[in-house]
Structure 1
């Protein structure tokens, strides 16, 4: 007999009949009518070619065939029940899983220190890797699990992808301390005339700032273009260049690189910062845990104003 020839619900009926040795009790346990249970027993007898249960002076008793069948069948039903009701657990305290997060170098500079400190406390064996991904590849990688989460401004991630806002980042004008513009306020004329460092970060929210400035007709005297943010603090601290940077990065850079800041002399829309994950892993306990840690850590890691300074609101 092939499984496709068998109504698998009949196996539940059989197991209950053997356990209770009573048609009425088995019917009650399975929420069936007594005639329905009797009909199911007759179908089983026909399919299996055995009486299965016989009426005796001690009630209904299984036949030798039914007794041989009952053990393996109960074990199979137990395994099936365990699988379909499986609670997928993730224990961060003992897990040695490695997660991959797609983010920019701003995310690494601003977010990873707090995140790693948190993991040291609650998940000492968990490890992280970060990657840079184009949006077209990132969607596939999220869906296959090659990337667990993505962080940033990624408007091209849509169908089949969940997202949640972390925060938004306001921009500030940044330069070395004692720069000619280090006076609290920078005029539009001064901003336009200064020598600028620009980070060309394709497919990130930072590009929106450059587009907004161009749309407003603001011309900058761009002296240096680089493809990442990691070197910005080093360069600004030793030159007369200025840069327009996200507030969270500014907070991380002021003290280490001896920098100062002023508000950008035009209104720029804050850039949203979101976390993205695939619908496929929405209920995955490990992915859920990592998301919760990121949101908790991000809130705990909000940059604070330095003593005696007013730091741009991120």
Structure 2
């Protein structure tokens, strides 16, 4: 392959095609016609000697070669864009940029409504794509350009990442309104004896909330019983509402579902540390005007949420 035949236009087409996995959506994202994008895909296939996108029963999927190329090309384009836009102010009112955010489910539930409400008012052309990150790969996602922001709880974030606290989250205990024993308050004995709905982000790893609970119980010389292991902390609220299980969740989530599901929201029977939401970003986006603007808007949304809570 002779790289001199690949211009920036084709490289942007490549990353967009791999990201979207769909020619029509890729064309819309780049503001071009579907035939033009199809022609670009054909030229890329010829120049790179690879089909790049292959059709399956579930739609078009990128080849291994396409994924490898797109990751490297994305980083290169980011550097070019940052170099060209370093001093240019970001015009949120006319921009059609899409931000890539990695955020846990509970974080998205708490913060994304407030963020989107602000974006729709001040930057109607701006969009965000949010995905749940793998905890072990959060730094890699920022470094490789698959996310510009990670919004989550990272107890041991890499020292070379920038970070900013967004929201302090107190933990509370939830129980069904008609729980057979828990009524308006809960003792440590009850907390340890009644089974818990446990939020897990994998076969064996509990989420940050559960880690905080287990550490608090260990300090108190106690332990708990788990009656259900769930992959969604939001599902925990529904499970608790219809059973005798308990759960420990961030207060924002508990208060939201308390009335509709009939939940008791109780102070924990032992001291627990906060599970705070912060945002993390890489040096490569630190000075980018659009990214700086997004971080500022997210901070404002979090401050408004904190003050109203």
- Which bracket does the TM-score occupy, shorter chain normalised? 0.5 to 0.7
Corresponding residue of 1:205: 208
SS in 1 for 2:107: helix
Structure 1 residues 85 and 210: alpha-carbon distance in aligned structure 2, compared to 1, 3 A threshold: closer
Corresponding residue of 1:176: 176
Structure 2 CA distance for aligned equivalents of residues 127 and 85 of structure 1? 19
Tell whether 2:128 aligns with 1:125: no
Tell whether 2:238 aligns with 1:246: no
Corresponding residue of 1:227: 231
* Unaligned residue ranges in structure 2 (runs of 5+): 1-82
Contact in 1 for aligned 2:185/2:267 (Cα 8 Å): yes
Corresponding residue of 2:9: none
Contact in 1 for aligned 2:100/2:129 (Cα 8 Å): yes
Structure 1 residues 116 and 162: alpha-carbon distance in aligned structure 2, compared to 1, 3 A threshold: same
Corresponding residue of 2:140: 140
Report the alpha carbon displacement of residue 210 of structure 1 after superposing the two structures with TM: 2.4
- Of 110-119 and 131-140, deviating more is 131-140
1:272 to 273, 276, 286: 276
Contact in 2 for aligned 1:109/1:252 (Cα 8 Å): no
TM-score w.r.t. the length of structure 2 is 0.66
Contact in 2 for aligned 1:135/1:156 (Cα 8 Å): no
Corresponding residue of 1:13: none
Structure 2 CA distance for aligned equivalents of residues 214 and 85 of structure 1? 51
TM-score w.r.t. the length of structure 1 is 0.65
Structure 1 residues 108 and 267: alpha-carbon distance in aligned structure 2, compared to 1, 3 A threshold: same
Corresponding residue of 2:155: 155
Structure 1 residues 260 and 132: alpha-carbon distance in aligned structure 2, compared to 1, 3 A threshold: same
Structure 1 residues 85 and 115: alpha-carbon distance in aligned structure 2, compared to 1, 3 A threshold: closer
Structure 2 CA distance for aligned equivalents of residues 163 and 204 of structure 1? 20
Structure 1 residues 277 and 203: alpha-carbon distance in aligned structure 2, compared to 1, 3 A threshold: farther
Contact in 2 for aligned 1:251/1:303 (Cα 8 Å): no
Q: CA RMSD in A?
A: 2.3
- Of 218-227 and 132-141, deviating more is 132-141
Tell whether 2:193 aligns with 1:190: no
Cα offsets for 1:213-238 (capped at 9, x unmatched): 24433222221111221312221221
Corresponding residue of 2:241: 237
SS in 2 for 1:109: helix
Q: How does 1:264-303 map to 2 (within 5 A)?
A: 264-302=268-306
SS in 2 for 1:91: coil
* Unaligned residue ranges in structure 1 (runs of 5+): 1-82, 306-314
Q: How does 1:53-68 map to 2 (within 5 A)?
A: none
SS in 2 for 1:114: helix
Cα offsets for 1:65-99 (capped at 9, x unmatched): xxxxxxxxxxxxxxxxxx88962222111111111
Q: How does 1:14-33 map to 2 (within 5 A)?
A: none
Which structure has the greater CA radius of gyration? Answer: 1
From the two aligned structures, give the one with the greater helix fraction.
2
SS in 2 for 1:209: helix
Report the alpha carbon displacement of residue 140 of structure 1 after superposing the two structures with TM: 2.2
Structure 2 CA distance for aligned equivalents of residues 84 and 222 of structure 1? 54
Number of aligned positions between the proteins: 223
Contact in 2 for aligned 1:88/1:284 (Cα 8 Å): no
Contact in 1 for aligned 2:114/2:305 (Cα 8 Å): yes
SS in 1 for 2:143: helix
Report the alpha carbon displacement of residue 267 of structure 1 after superposing the two structures with TM: 0.7
